[in-house]
Structure 1
Amino acid sequence: MQHLLQTLRNWPIDKQLTLFFPTCVLAIALLSGSIQSIEPIQNKAALFAALLFILLILGLRPLLQRHQFSSNTEWFLREFWPVPAILLGYLTMRAFRLELAVDFFQIPLRDNWMIELDTILFGQPVPLYLQYWITPGLTLWMEFAYLHFYYLLPIGSLLYFYWQGQRQTFLHLRKALIYALTGGFCLYFILPVVGPVTYMHDQFVVPLPANHEILYDAVNSFRYLYDCFPSLHTAIPWLTLLMTWPRHSWPIKSILLFMTLSITFSTLYLRYHYGMDVIAGFLWALLIVHWVKHQPSEQQNRLVSATKLT
């Protein structure tokens, strides 16, 4: 046990957060009693993803201990797992019914704040403007961007930098992603916002095409109820773009920028977010990027610690 605790202490902060965050979610669920309302049937997709991840970890661990992989592959497995782990940490918010904990602690919904801020900045909530742009083709593209680019951009970038042998860039991006996701998940609980598609559905006079209901059902099978502020579907692509921008050629930069703009627009077009959610997501990405880029690396930290000991 002591060896395990010492190992955890030696982990970088972003790795530690992948365990600390779901532990906090569990503590809140126990304190509020929301854990008693777990609905396994309604969380089949989330529970299956969590079980699959745990089985992979248990299966790979003995292979890593026996060094069955090349040193390069072993490094990747040891350094990549925190990314899916923190995403699974988000699923604990849904599985442990943290929306009931919001009610227990009497945290008010903040949709009215978002509507007021959108009205001040834009005249009305932004999704109300975009309903007049709806076409079947554009809706299909927005659904594709929303579903796939959110994961493809950060995970594809991590795989690219691993393939290129740019380990330091890989670790910096991983750290930024975990900080942004963890902080965003916490804000979901502190500032609960249900989003335009639910809160103000009666104000939309132009319906989305019927096939959008299939997308909404798929998203909702993984979704925590109040996951709007800030828009992490905005923050994560912009964070990935800003963190990796200097490392790419202009053709790749153009593709990444197009993907990032597509997914940002999709959050508003598909009525999942208010304009203020998107602005907050972009600012959150800027803050995390600035913070991570100005943090000393793990190597520098170890050097400072060694200097102090001597």
Structure 2
Amino acid sequence: MAELLSNSFPATPTGTRFWAVDKILLTYLAFTTILILGWWSRVEDAGMLFAAHVVGVALVVFEVKRPNRTTWIFRNWYALPFVASCYKEMALLIPAVRQTDADQWLADLDFRLWSVHPTVWLERVQTPALTEFLQIVYTLFVPAVLLIPLLIWRKRRPEEFQYYAFLIALGYLASYVGYLIVPARGPRFLLRNLQHVPLQGMWLFQIMQSTLDRLESAHYDCFPSGHTELTIIAWWASRAISKRLFRVYFTYTPLIIFATVYLRYHYTVDVMAGILLAAILIWSAPALYRKLSREA
């Protein structure tokens, strides 16, 4: 990564106007700051979160209005760690703001659609080899999403990179708002007493699952399925890099969608919502990007 960034584009002036990605990230920060202030007594580490927001806003404004040697790299890349920190923050905000969950409602919707609970029904095709393989597929989600901007960056196509960074950030933040509106932990928790057979892998399954659990913490991150949404967006964007990569993502995308349900992370209605959200963003993001990129 260090070598990749050191081989960045020439020191091009970025100007002192806010980019589209800056505007959506700062808007999201304002929204979550209101949540922190409104539910201050309930939000764990509210003071620390508020201070982090102040520092984050100050840093973005400084880099935009006072261009320096770090500005080009910062402004192109900061959205990616930003959305990761917002994910962790939402794990603290949802329990404080909502104090309830929608798991039973989502499970009931699934049952009405299929007349079975999909995660329970899928036990009939469950094998250690398949479980191991699908857990690997699921664990590769973040690398699969980040590979696209890395390849675009290497090709020295800053306009495409900036649009994809905007689209990724928009996709992640939209899913976080969905988590807040429809908080749910997933069938792995709600339906565990209905499952007859535990998931068993071969070699790395337990390590991968427990590592993801530690990284994600106790989270209400089911609806919509961000794995589905962001992977579809990455698949769509991969066509601008090469036909071969597009075919790779064409194979990977349905696998991870299936993995989200097979591994009991998601209800099928989460997946449907993720597909719909991805389609809406792919269709609407270009116009939104152009509008937000205009000079004030």
Tell me the TM-score normalized by structure 1. 0.75
Determine which of 133, 136, 140 is the counterpart of 2:132.
Answer: 140
> Do the aligned residues in 1 keep the contact of 2:35 with 2:93 (CA within 8 Å)?
no
User: By percentage of residues, which structure has more helix?
Assistant: 1
Q: Give the equivalent residue in structure 2 for 1:122.
A: 114
Report the CA distance between 1:36 and its aligned residue. Answer: 4.2
Q: Give the equivalent residue in structure 2 for 1:84.
A: 81
**Structure 1, unaligned stretches of length 5 or more?**
1-6, 41-46, 306-310
- Could you tell me how far apart the structure 2 residues matched to 1:183 and 1:266 are? 22
- Could you tell me how far apart the structure 2 residues matched to 1:31 and 1:294 are? 33
Q: Give the equivalent residue in structure 2 for 1:308.
A: none
Distance 1:163 1:171, change over 3 A: same
Taking only the aligned residue pairs, the percentage that are identical comes to 21
Q: How many residues align?
A: 267
2:92 aligned with 1:100: no
> Do the aligned residues in 1 keep the contact of 2:19 with 2:292 (CA within 8 Å)?
no
1:85 corresponds to which letter in structure 2?
A: F
1:285 corresponds to which letter in structure 2?
A: A
Residues 163-193 of structure 1 show CA distances to partners (whole Å, capped at 9, x for unaligned) of: 1122222122111111111111011011111
1:156 corresponds to which letter in structure 2?
A: L
**Structure 2, unaligned stretches of length 5 or more?**
1-13
- Could you tell me how far apart the structure 2 residues matched to 1:199 and 1:82 are? 33
RMSD: 3.2
Q: Give the equivalent residue in structure 2 for 1:263.
A: 256
Q: Give the equivalent residue in structure 2 for 1:208.
A: 199
2:241 aligned with 1:236: no
Residues 266-302 of structure 1 show CA distances to partners (whole Å, capped at 9, x for unaligned) of: 1111101000100110110000000113446379724
Q: Give the equivalent residue in structure 2 for 1:180.
A: 171
Residues 235-257 of structure 1 show CA distances to partners (whole Å, capped at 9, x for unaligned) of: 00101112332x24332211112
- Could you tell me how far apart the structure 2 residues matched to 1:229 and 1:214 are? 25
Determine which of 151, 163, 180 is the counterpart of 1:160.
Answer: 151
Q: Give the equivalent residue in structure 2 for 1:113.
A: 105
2:23 aligned with 1:16: yes
Tell me the TM-score normalized by structure 2. 0.78
- Could you tell me how far apart the structure 1 residues matched to 2:282 and 2:133 are? 28
- Could you tell me how far apart the structure 1 residues matched to 2:213 and 2:107 are? 22
1:174 corresponds to which letter in structure 2?
A: A
1:132 corresponds to which letter in structure 2?
A: R
